[in-house]
Amino acid sequence: MNKITYREALNQAMCEEMERDANVFLMGEEVAEYNGAYKVSQGMLDRFGPKRVIDTPITELGFAGLGVGAAMTGLRPIIEFMTWNFAILAMDQIVNAAAKMLYMSGGMYKVPMVFRGPGGAAARVAAQHSQSLENWMANVPGLKVVMPSCAADAKGLLKSAIRDDDPVVFIENEILYGEVGDVPAGEYTIPLGKADIKRSGTDITLVAHSRMTGFALQAAEELAKQGISAEVLDPRTIRPLDERTILQSVAKTNHCVIIEEGWRFAGIGAEISARIMEKGFDDLDAPVLRVTGKDVPMAYAANLERMTLPSVAEIVEAARACLGRA
Amino acid sequence: MATKDDSKQARMLAHEGRDYPLNTLHEMHDMMLFIRRFEEKAGQLYGLKKIGGFCHLCNGQEAVCVGMQHASRPTDYVLTSYRDHGHVLARGSDPVAVMAELLGRSGGLVKGKGGSMHMFDIERNFLGGNGIVGEQVPIGLGVGFSSWYREDGRVTLCIMGDGGINQGGVYESFNMAALWKLPIVFVIENNQYAMGTSLDRASAETHLFKRGISFKIPGMQIDGMDVLAVEKHMSEAIEHARSGQGPILVEAITYRYRGHSMSDPATYRTREEVDEWRTGRDPIARLENLMIENGLATEDEFKQKDREIKKRINAIAKEAEAQPEPDPAELWTDVYASPINDAYPYPGRVD
């Protein structure tokens, strides 16, 4: 095991895959000479040269589409959005082109590419720079949606995403970029569509992805002090969703709280709780509860921002309510 | 101007500094006429409700489709908008498969999953058939990027209309294509109307070939109703792109005889205007007259050909109509490159 940051893990994944396959290239705003707005691509220009690590103008729709065309003709683009907020400008290429190309071309044109960058709230950057779009993306057949919560997952999942033959939406988290984690030494990949039990427990299942996985682990720590054994499950891939592992956990604990940073309406928690209701109803001893971001645009003021995001205290409270110990 | 070759044996037409062998002229003519009759058939089948949804015909624009293909190589890439029947046929795709696609049949070019707007043919480097106006331009940018990245010597023909040219993504693409000198010919089929909106109601600069100026992309305006002019100027443009000088913009002035789609009665223009283009500038009649004037063909020959082509089109439609609808199992194929078994979505399974 090596101790490296989430950011370094992503960098290693891209470098290893670019060494492995000459068709892989990285393109986006400030990825080359600036070494990445968040330094994820640090050193890659020096290592791979300007043909494979390419700075673009500020033109998200254009370079997202460039990635689609390049992927259709056999390359494996990694298209970096400085943040996913800006990917909204590229939605036509992601949803109408990348996601549907294989289907509407009757299976002729694969689109093996990765759209990646940080999503979710950063710190004090207000409404337009703090939001979660994974439910938009996961709604679209043809896309895969991956959201790592730690360095080891970031590396293994990004390597799989780059090798995948479908368009993969890879949503990182800005706050997590500096987090250090244990990463296996040497070559490894993590398959897409496999959840991970981050902490075993018997009383309640906490399902959380991306930055909320850390919040759920802190909540589980707190619940343990109160005599409650919480299992923390990170789906890691939102689509395809590892329903099986979620249902197995709920069958064991009979209780479930789903935590997500994004808005509640038609969110990832809504989808997972519907799935549990449809397929695991008899395993439930209580309704599934959700802890989500508040249903408002993100404010700038520190207190309002804090109130908007889910908190460890809210997760603990929801778990206790679910278990009838509120 | 056209001049008759002195030696009848050579069977060549010298036209505007280029020599066209007789068989090339016949090929161009026959393909244009084939596209015309194919579109008429498609219009009929639409009227009979056998073709559904949106159906955008290209009657009148055949010279652009055919001239361009004669100027390009089979290894070059082509992508266009939803008005794609003529381009895919000119590219050489199986007309039965194209017709079957319009009819939503199992043997359709894309298995009945795309319809009129989404023709693709990977064997012929034809990348759609894209339904969102202007969407194919950023994609075409990436196709050109591929050729630049791999140095494969191919050129991308990225076609849009006078409607598509106003989309923002087009200018994002122009900028990057010029910045990196990508081998792309951007072609504007200026058929005068974006759906019901005439060029001068939608474009502050109606000389669309100038739209690349601020990106240092050279532009030329050509007569899109003259297949030989299209062939000649597209050859020059393709050579420019292939030689590493970067992208180039070609505005082909053309006209669609039919409405924007089958549901459009085209009340935004006068019958006189349509007649002026149809009778005065029709690309098929124009080539026929040129060949007849130069003693390279006779009117009877063309009449005979037209009868044969109509017969062929009827046979194509019959063969396509005889095909079954797609197998219901096809609903679940091609969503992802490989089936997903251990996680939702389960292909084909609805609980």
CATH number at residue A156: 3.40.50.970
* Contacts (Cβ under 8 Å, ≥6 apart) of A276: A246, A247, A250, A256, A283, A284, A288
Q: B334 contacts in A (CB within 8 Å)?
A: 102-103, 105-107
Looking at residue B340, its pLDDT comes to 83
Range of the domain at A221: 196-322
Q: Convert the pLDDT of each residue in A164-218 to its tens digit.
A: 999 999 999 999 999 999 999 999 999 999 999 999 999 999 999 999 999 999 9
**Boundary of a domain, candidates A183, A218, A238:** A183
Per the CB < 8 Å rule, is B175 touching A59?
Answer: yes
Name the closest residue on chain B to residue A106, using Cα atoms.
Answer: B110
Distance (Å, whole) CA A280 – CA B326? 35
CATH architecture group of domain B39-318: 3-Layer(aba) Sandwich (3.40)
Query: Rounded to 10 degrees, what is the CA torsion of A151, A156, A162, A165?
Result: -140
Looking at residue B262, its pLDDT comes to 87
CATH of the domain at A203: 3.40.50.920
State how far Cα B181 lies from the chain centre: 24
Q: Which of B141, B172, B333, B335 to mutate to test the interface with A (most CBs of A within 10 A)?
A: B172
Distance (Å, whole) CA A221 – CA B117? 56
H-type helices in chain B, by residue range?
Answer: 22-47, 62-71, 85-90, 95-102, 136-150, 168-179, 199-202, 227-242, 271-280, 283-293, 299-321
A326 pLDDT exceeds 90? Answer: no
Average pLDDT over residues B101-106: 98
Distance (Å, whole) CA A245 – CA A153? 17
Four-residue CA torsion sign, B158, B159, B161, B162: positive
Distance (Å, whole) CA B99 – CA B107? 9
ipTM of the complex, rounded to two decimals: 0.96
User: B160 and B187 in contact (C-beta within 8 Å)?
Assistant: yes
Q: What is the pLDDT confidence band of residue B263, given thresholds at 50, 70 and 90?
A: confident
Q: Convert the pLDDT of each residue in A51-78 to its tens digit.
A: 999 999 999 999 999 999 999 999 999 9
Residues A18 and A153 in one domain: yes
Q: How high does pLDDT run on average in chain A?
A: 97
- Strands (E) in chain A, as ranges, are 2-5, 24-28, 53-55, 76-80, 114-119, 144-146, 168-173, 180-183, 196-199, 204-208, 230-234, 237-239, 256-263, 289-293
Residue A149 lies in a domain: yes
A29: region left, alpha or beta (phi > 0 left; psi from -120 to 50 alpha): beta
Looking at residue B350, its pLDDT comes to 41
Q: How far A227 CA sits from the closest chain B CA (Å)?
A: 33
Residues A225 and A258 in one domain: yes
Q: A241 contacts in B (CB within 8 Å)?
A: 343-344
Q: How far A303 CA sits from the closest chain B CA (Å)?
A: 39
Distance (Å, whole) CA A82 – CA A60? 9
Domain ranges for chain B: 39-318
Average pLDDT over residues A90-103: 98
Residues A41 and A105 in one domain: yes
B1 pLDDT exceeds 50? Answer: no
Distance (Å, whole) CA B242 – CA B240? 6
Paired tokens of A20 = 């492995």
Q: Convert the pLDDT of each residue in B198-208 to its tens digit.
A: 999 999 999 99
H-type helices in A60-171, by residue range?
Answer: 60-72, 84-87, 91, 101-104, 134-138, 151-163
Residues A23 and A165 in one domain: yes
Catalytic positions of A are 60, 129
Looking at residue A28, its pLDDT comes to 98
User: A9 and A184 in contact (C-beta within 8 Å)?
Assistant: no
Which of these, B160, B40, B163, lies nearest to B102 by C-alpha position? B40
Residues A101 and A125 in one domain: yes
Residues A129 and A67 in one domain: yes
Q: What is the pLDDT confidence band of residue B348, given thresholds at 50, 70 and 90?
A: very low
Q: B332 contacts in A (CB within 8 Å)?
A: none
Residues A19 and A155 in one domain: yes
Looking at residue B57, its pLDDT comes to 95
Per the CB < 8 Å rule, is A241 touching B176?
Answer: no
Query: Rounded to 10 degrees, what is the CA torsion of A128, A134, A135, A136?
Result: 70
Q: B335 contacts in A (CB within 8 Å)?
A: 102-103, 141-142
Q: Report how many domains make up chain A.
A: 2
Residues A250 and A161 in one domain: no
Residues A152 and A238 in one domain: no
Looking at residue B235, its pLDDT comes to 98
Tokens 């809504």 sit on residue? A270
Per the CB < 8 Å rule, is B142 touching A71?
Answer: yes
Looking at residue B10, its pLDDT comes to 59
Per the CB < 8 Å rule, is A93 touching B135?
Answer: yes
Average pLDDT over residues A98-111: 98
Residue A127 lies in a domain: yes
Looking at residue B344, its pLDDT comes to 72
A314: region left, alpha or beta (phi > 0 left; psi from -120 to 50 alpha): alpha
Looking at residue B346, its pLDDT comes to 63
Average pLDDT over residues A115-131: 96
Q: A108 contacts in B (CB within 8 Å)?
A: 110, 120-122
Q: Which of B112-116, B225-229, B337-341 has the lowest mean pLDDT?
A: B337-341
| DSSP character at residue A38 | T
- The minimal CB distance from A61 to the residues B77, B131, B169 is found for B169
Residue A188 lies in a domain: no
Residue A293 CA: distances (Å) to CA of A125, A136, A265, A310: 16, 15, 10, 5
Residues A250 and A153 in one domain: no
User: A99 and B334 in contact (C-beta within 8 Å)?
Assistant: no
Residue B74 CA: distances (Å) to CA of B120, B157, B243: 15, 12, 17
Q: Convert the pLDDT of each residue in A1-50 to its tens digit.
A: 999 999 999 999 999 999 999 999 999 999 999 999 999 999 999 999 99
**Boundary of a domain, candidates A151, A183, A215:** A183
Q: Which of A60, A61, A96, A233 to mutate to test the interface with B (most CBs of B within 10 A)?
A: A61
Name the closest residue on chain B to residue A141, using Cα atoms.
Answer: B335
**Boundary of a domain, candidates A183, A207, A233:** A183
Which of these, B27, B4, B12, B8, lies nearest to B231 by C-alpha position? B27
Residue B320 CA: distances (Å) to CA of B46, B57, B94, B119, B313: 14, 18, 11, 15, 10
- Residues forming beta bridges with residue B15, ordered by sequence position: B18
Distance (Å, whole) CA A51 – CA A256? 49
Phi (first) and psi of residue A239, to 5 degrees: -140, 125
Looking at residue B347, its pLDDT comes to 54
- The minimal CB distance from B114 to the residues A72, A104, A279 is found for A104
Tokens 């992208």 sit on residue? B247
Q: What is the pLDDT confidence band of residue A94, given thresholds at 50, 70 and 90?
A: very high
Per the CB < 8 Å rule, is B168 touching A64?
Answer: no
Q: Which of B118, B123, B145 to mutate to test the interface with A (most CBs of A within 10 A)?
A: B145
Looking at residue B252, its pLDDT comes to 98
Which of these, A142, A122, A144, A143, lies nearest to A132 by C-alpha position? A122
Distance (Å, whole) CA A201 – CA A253? 8
Between residues B344 and B93, the one the model is more confident about: B93
3-state secondary structure (DSSP) of residue A141: coil
Residues A127 and A230 in one domain: no
Q: How high does pLDDT run on average in chain B?
A: 94
Which of these, A139, A192, A162, A129, lies nearest to A52 by C-alpha position? A162
Residue A274 lies in a domain: yes
